[in-house]
Chains A and B, each alone.
Chain A
Amino acid sequence: MLTKRIIPCLDVKDNRVVKGVHFANLRDAGDPVELGARYSDEGADELVFLDITATIRSRKTIVELVEKVAENVFIPFTVGGGIQTVDQIDQLLRSGAEKVSVNTAAVQNPHLLAEAARRFGNQCIVLAIDARRSKTQPLRWQVTVKAGSEPTDLDAVEWAVKAEKLGAGEILLTSMDADGTKTGYDNELNKAVSDAVNIPVIASGGAGELEHLYDAIVEGGADAVLMASITHFENYTITQMKQYLASRGVPVNL
């Protein structure tokens, strides 16, 4: 039986790890190479690295940084942010990433998912969805792109289902409403998406307490939980999170 995964996330801007609230008010959280090494050493199950600068100019810097992070990371490592083409995916996989996550480019060109999955296998293609609760309809979430700055017409659940068919191997699902609030994941969103797809769903946005992780897995049906604030600022160690989940009967790699 596969274990539920604990995944720290490094949001990287100008070579530093940052963390904000609702995708804004960024605060410095350290050096990506050091943090990556720390999480690998502490027993995290995976690491996610999101380049939130993601301009064309920053691509070369990001590849170099990914190479440096990978030198000290001996757990699976996903890289995302600003990826537009299959060649960029190839470059990141060669730089030490196991998986890549795509977001805006997949919305603009869904065929990218199919093309990337055919070339590299769907196990290394993660679709990132930044979802915001609809203000008019209950239990509906709107997909946003460009780091949450641009709403689209897509429904988050429908988009996840379509992405699985196209070739996404995993969904990284971020609630923009919950992001950085430390008040818990949006488990209605997690449940809606995890019920609709057969691929693993990583719950993201809102982790603040240990029970939030448990709720995302049990109520939200998530296969993995992603967190930033609560671990970068050392509220909880990876081991504390796993011990807590294990004590409540969740299978973890401890």
Chain B
Amino acid sequence: MLIVIDYNVGNVKSVCNAFRYIGCVAKLSCKPQDINAAAGLVLPGVAAFGYAVSALGPLAELIKELALAGKPLLGICVGYQMLFDQSAEYGRHKGLGLVAGNVVPIPSSQTVPHMGWNLVKLPEDMDLFTGLPREKHFYFAHSFYADVADTQAKIAYTDYGFPMPALVQKGTIYGTQFHPEKSGKVGLKVLENFSKICQRKTT
């Protein structure tokens, strides 16, 4: 079973709705025993970074430990940003530090927030994109982005006046700046691929 981490931030329900729609069992929980037993973890997030990190509280250490031990983890939007070292959104806040890099503001030369459907170039060797064409539109809604510094991370980019990371993968740690649960059929396929990765890990 997948566990969608429930930590009292914005619309976490839509992630569960999406998994249910593709026939995958995903439960909303904040209980350490559920998180420990999960085949994979999803860290959603619609909130400011600092608020999200403090709302996650002691679960942060547990999630980090499990992800480093190889339990598949998918961070979405602010949940993705929290995978990095730190963020500059409303002050300095430490993230989980699973992927090297900092979360910084989108340059003010662009319209902020970056909100809408943008084209992501999908590298061939990323298993979250299995079965998808080489480039697809995904739905974004954010004002900060992750400046990825991790040499071990694979990155998929979108163009917003500069190449902006849209997805990272480091081992079985995944993160999407876009919202797969709100990116129509293509987004549902990404979630389905994640659930298959989790199944493969457990069998």
Contacts and interface: CB of A to CB of B under 8 A. Distances in A.
A74 B10 CA distance: 16
A225 B143 CA distance: 24
B20 to A, nearest CB: 8
Contacts, number: 82
A164 interface: no
Contact of A93 (B10, B116, B185, B188): B10
A93 B13 CA distance: 10
Contact of A2 (B13, B21, B116): B116
Contact of A74 (B18, B48, B116, B143): B18
Given A3-B117, A123-B115, A93 B18 contact: no
Contacts of B143: 121, 123
Contacts of A74: 14, 17-18, 21, 181-185, 187-188
B139 A76 contact: yes
A96 B139 contact: no
B54 interface: no
B202 interface: no
Given A1-B118, A43-B184, A76 B141 contact: yes
A118 B159 CA distance: 28
B187 to A, nearest CB: 6
Interface of A: 1-3, 5, 40-41, 43, 45, 70-72, 74-77, 93-98, 120-123, 169, 198, 200, 223, 253
Given A75-B183, A169-B113, 16 more contacts: A1-B160, A3-B116, A3-B137, A43-B184, A45-B116, A74-B188, A76-B139, A77-B182, A93-B10, A96-B13, A96-B14, A98-B11, A98-B141, A121-B143, A123-B141, A253-B117
- Interchain residue pairs A-B with the least CB separation, the first 10: A253-B137, A2-B116, A253-B117, A123-B113, A3-B117, A123-B141, A71-B17, A76-B182, A123-B115, A75-B184
